[in-house]
Structure 1
Amino acid sequence: MTSPFFASIAVTAFAVAFLHAALPTHWLPFVLVGRAQKWSTGRTLGVTLLAGIGHVGLTIALGLALVLAGMALQPSLGGLFHWIVGGLMIAVGVFYMVRGRHNHALPEASRRIYASDRAAIAALVTLLTLSPCEAFLPYYLAGMEHGWVAFLVLSAILTAATAAGMLIFTGLSLAGFKRLGLQWVERYEETILGVALVLVGLAVAFLKT
């Protein structure tokens, strides 16, 4: 659990989750809707955090399902398991790099005027909850051999990085900053995530933990 290898997985996982949360689609809708609904800064940040909890919750649930499936398959795969996990991470990483830039248009929820705050909150929370951080999921498999403590650590990392990214950029935008010069994140996010996944996948495949 305290090995340098797992530490590198944890650090990379935090970077991936934070970068994903820094995308404008994860915070700008809250700023726009909050201003349209005339919410206070505190309320806007509270709704952002609530949506982030839903976003993280679904990601953790999917990660749990992935780990349980991996645990069921590991006994029959034996020494091949770390090669399969590493290969899977590399394949996902290559897919991200090939796919390159995709549409980061803001969700429809951020462009509407709502009759009630409850409807606005429900729309924002639902949209973000139903779009989990899929780039983080392979990290659960990478840390699986370290047991359930690793799963809890990675889930805590996902929660902290997502909350930090969403709240920081929402707060900065509310304080008067515009789009914070994050166009490069929108353009290169998938390439960066893909490279990170490939590097961790190579480590999982070729380095015994």
Structure 2
Amino acid sequence: MTSAFFASIAATGFMVAFLHAALPTHWLPFVLVGRAQKWSAGRTLGVTLLAGLGHVALTILLGLVLVVAGLALEPRLGHLFHWIVGGLMVAVGLFYIVRGRHSHAMPEAGRRTYASDRAAITALVVLLTLSPCEAFLPYYLAGMKHGWGAFLLLSLVLLTATAAGMLLFTGLSLAGVRRLNLDWLERYEETILGAALVLVGLAVAFLKT
């Protein structure tokens, strides 16, 4: 697997994480709760970032478990390992494509009112932390051949894309941009993510590592 191919994995991983973070479920609840609690824009963005860090941290932890398991299995599977990883990515991608009409309803935490800021912040952070970016996890396996440096780089890609997406759309909404025209993203997000996973999975399977 060449460094150029790994760069393509990181680039598509960034796209997947950014699109996932751009879903209204990842920023609209913060805008609504922030307005209800009369938070400043800075505080709303701060809570958004805090929740995003929790979201990323759990995803990285799951990715670490996946990579450790992959490292344990790789010596036993030998040259079949990259076929298995590629096949897994294709299977997950096809699952996303089939599930492409899934509805992303706004979480209950975004519709509630809270007695205190602490309760509101806790609910928002816990809500997002416990819903990791599962679409990004196969990218950790795809980059595993490049060692722990690749794991750290992919984690940085995940953090950057997630923070950028959540803060960008939260900030735009707070700034008064009323119509962000993201209906298409809600409708086609899983299809886009699935297609990206299928393409990377095929590349992992058929390109020499």
- Give me the TM-score of the superposition, normalised by structure 2: 0.98
Question: Is 1:40 matched up with 2:40?
Answer: yes
Q: Is the 8 A contact 1:101 1:189 kept in 2?
A: no
Deviation at 1:2, TM superposition (A): 6.7
Unaligned 5+ residue runs, structure 2?
none
The aligned residue for residue 206 of structure 2 is 206
Q: CA deviation at 1:134?
A: 0.2
Separation in structure 2 between the aligned mates of residue 92 and residue 179 of structure 1, nearest angstrom = 32
Separation (CA, whole Å) in 1 of partners of 2:159 and 2:108:
25
SS at match of 1:199: helix
The gaps in structure 1 that reach 5 residues or longer are none
In structure 2, what is the Cα distance between the partners aligned to 1:159 and 1:62?
Answer: 14
Structure 2 match to 1:16: 16
Q: Which runs of 4+ in 1 moved over 3 A?
A: none
- Aligned partners of 2:79 and 2:155: how far apart in 1? 26
Structure 2 residue aligned with 1:103: 103
CA drift at 1:100: 1.2
Cα deviations by residue, 1:62-118 (Å, 9 ceiling, x for unpaired): 000000000000000000000000000000000000111212111111111100000
User: Could you give the per-residue CA deviations for residues 123-148 of structure 1, whole angstroms, max 9, x where no partner exists?
Assistant: 00000000000000000000000000
> 1:36-75 maps to which residues of 2 (within 5 A)?
36-75=36-75
Distance 1:144 1:97 in 2: 25
| Structure 1 CA distance for aligned equivalents of residues 93 and 29 of structure 2 | 28
Structure 1 stretch displaced more, 95-104 or 37-46:
95-104
Q: How far apart, in 2, do the equivalents of 1:142 and 1:129 lie?
A: 24
What secondary structure does 1:60 align onto? helix
Q: CA deviation at 1:3?
A: 1.2
The root-mean-square deviation of aligned C-alpha atoms, in Å, is 0.9
**What residue number does 1:184 align with?**
184
Q: Which amino acid aligns with 1:8?
A: S
Tell me how far apart the structure 2 counterparts of residues 2 and 94 of structure 1 sit (CA, whole Å). 26
Distance 1:76 1:183 in 2: 46
C-alpha separation between the residues in 2 aligned to 1:26 and 1:101? 18
Q: Distance in 2 between matches of 1:54 and 1:94?
A: 28
